[in-house]
Structure 1
Amino acid sequence: MVDKKLDQDVAHFCSVTGASTRDARDFLKEHKRLEVAIDAYYNNPNEFAGKRKAEATSSPSTSKLARLFDQYKDEGDEILINGTIKFCEDLQVDPEDVVLLAVACELKSPGMGRWTRQEWIDGWKHIGADAIPSMQASLHRLREQLATDPEYFKTVYNYTFNFSRSEGQRSLGLETAEAFWNLLLPLGLKGGSLTRKNKDEDVKMGDGWQEVHTSWWLEFLRKKGGKGVSKDTWVMFLDFVRSIDSKFSNYDIDAAWPSLIDDFVDFAREKISST
């Protein structure tokens, strides 16, 4: 709905002013309201020209990124485990740091400890970095976005399933799933990207998924056994975490939740009743 409204405003802006679509979007982004943006354009149609020139001058270098890729690549035309470890050392980041899941998503990494040349170059250019210092600064921005932006968290979370799944496997190994839940959930809870939201009820601060519930979930999975976690369960678990209250009292058993989550709710309610 927001995108459709923006497209309509852009079209109207262009028809009135004769400006380019790019100018229309820049002025609308800066000035929010259509009428105000149009007035601003007439007062100073070159408002963003200097900014664009500076952006063009400082845009990441393809050749610098290619040279950096060559510095870390292991064999063929990929950076593999050894190159990834060296890269992390230069970035001064732990290879198991959650922020690297965001980097993997941005660079479309095909698997853990694997980076392909074109995706490396395109990804870092999109992020806006072409050297170790600027990449280090980018990690801080990506970590903050992952912690606070619900949509970005969801994008990285869903990407993590395919990224971390063994080749040829449809499900994610239980130990692997547990490791990534332990990385992602604490950050989302701390930063707010996992805050419960429900338009039909007033949600009090802290009335939602808690760290103790993560430990219950993992305990439940270990007791239940099974070889892995399906993609359906992985994806819907995030929706579950964002919708459930801290007492599991608003769970709808008739909704289309995976049976594994149905069983977990019974497990969690028993935990609550016994305390």
Structure 2
Amino acid sequence: MPRNSRSSTCRKAINSSADLFHSATGKAADKELDRIDQLFYSYASNSSEIMYPEGIESLCSDLEVDHTDVRILMLAWKMQAEKQGFFTMDEWRKGLKALRADTISKLQKALPELENEVRRPSVFPDFYSYAFRYCLSEEKQKSIDIESICVMLDLVLGSQFRPQVDSFVQYLKSQNDYKVINMDQWMGFYHFWNEITFPSLSNYDPNSAWPLILDNYVEWLNSE
């Protein structure tokens, strides 16, 4: 057989194999997406393509996770869910495809891996920022009340900074200067506990650009 004919035959065989591979891969992806959709509809309204709070509570029950567990917030982050207590079909697809989870058992197994991902120093600030935005229930809302912030601090930072969170929550509940917290203050809390030694606060510099509420907290702590 001439050399050119052999090369042409080889290319055709390779292209045919590649086409078969892509076809099989595409079919597998379609089946996975179908299973993800079916799982969604087992908790959501078929007509609106939205999973409502009661559906999410049922999902949590099947996952054997409390609906207030931080991993549910992490799941919402993975979906980039926009409205607290609701998952849309598109959000659900985005999150579960990324987690490679198309059944409840796979989603259960994915949660510890998701938590490990979120806890990475390079990822956590994005999750922490998302947690604040996720709690904004009104379209133009820019701040969150103190009581809700205390709950969020406990949920999001409690496992990493337990003594700090307990102390700061005590301060927030005792002070009267602030009724709400904005995003800059919220992000400042994380950077403060990530950088300042507790409980000595030995590396705290009052001339640094900390939110005023943190300067007030340090004064409160020193007066205790």
1:228 matches 2:185:
no
- Which structure has the larger Rg over C-alpha atoms? 2
Which amino acid in the other structure matches residue 163 of structure 2? Answer: V
Q: TM-score, normalised by structure 1?
A: 0.66
1:157 matches 2:128:
yes
Is contact 1:153-1:188 (8 Å) kept? no
- 1:249 to partner: Cα distance: 1.8
1:120 matches 2:92:
yes
Partner of 1:215: 166
Partner of 1:260: 213
SS in 2 for 1:187: coil
Matches within 5 A, 1:1-275: 56=25, 61-74=32-45, 76-147=48-119, 149-167=120-138, 168-189=140-161, 211-225=162-176, 226-246=178-198, 247-271=200-224
- 1:105 to partner: Cα distance: 0.5
Larger mean Cα displacement after TM superposition, 161-170 or 258-267? 161-170
For each residue in 1:103-129, what CA deviation from the matched residue of structure 2 results, as whole angstroms up to 9, or x when unmatched? 010001112211011111011101211
Distance in 1 (alpha carbons) for counterparts of 2:106 and 2:219: 48
Which amino acid in the other structure matches residue 235 of structure 1? Answer: M
Which amino acid in the other structure matches residue 215 of structure 1? Answer: D
Distance in 1 (alpha carbons) for counterparts of 2:159 and 2:172: 21
Is contact 1:77-1:116 (8 Å) kept? yes
Aligned-pair Cα RMSD in Å? 2.3
Distance in 2 (alpha carbons) for counterparts of 1:248 and 1:120: 43
- 1:140 to partner: Cα distance: 1.4
Q: How many residues are aligned here?
A: 198
Distance in 1 (alpha carbons) for counterparts of 2:209 and 2:38: 49
Which amino acid in the other structure matches residue 216 of structure 1? Answer: S
Gaps of 5+ in 1: 1-51, 190-210
SS in 1 for 2:81: coil
Distance in 2 (alpha carbons) for counterparts of 1:176 and 1:142: 24
Is contact 1:248-1:268 (8 Å) kept? no
Which amino acid in the other structure matches residue 165 of structure 2? Answer: T
Is contact 1:73-1:80 (8 Å) kept? yes
Distance in 1 (alpha carbons) for counterparts of 2:104 and 2:71: 15
Which amino acid in the other structure matches residue 35 of structure 2? Answer: K
Distance in 1 (alpha carbons) for counterparts of 2:170 and 2:160: 20
Q: TM-score, normalised by structure 2?
A: 0.81
**Greater relative CO (CA pairs within 8 A, separation 6+):** 2
Gaps of 5+ in 2: 1-20
Is contact 2:70-2:155 (8 Å) kept? yes
- 1:175 to partner: Cα distance: 1.3
- Shift in CA distance, 188/143, structure 1 to aligned 2, threshold 3 Å: same
Is contact 2:146-2:181 (8 Å) kept? yes
Distance in 1 (alpha carbons) for counterparts of 2:204 and 2:216: 12
SS in 2 for 1:229: strand
SS in 2 for 1:222: helix
Distance in 2 (alpha carbons) for counterparts of 1:242 and 1:124: 31
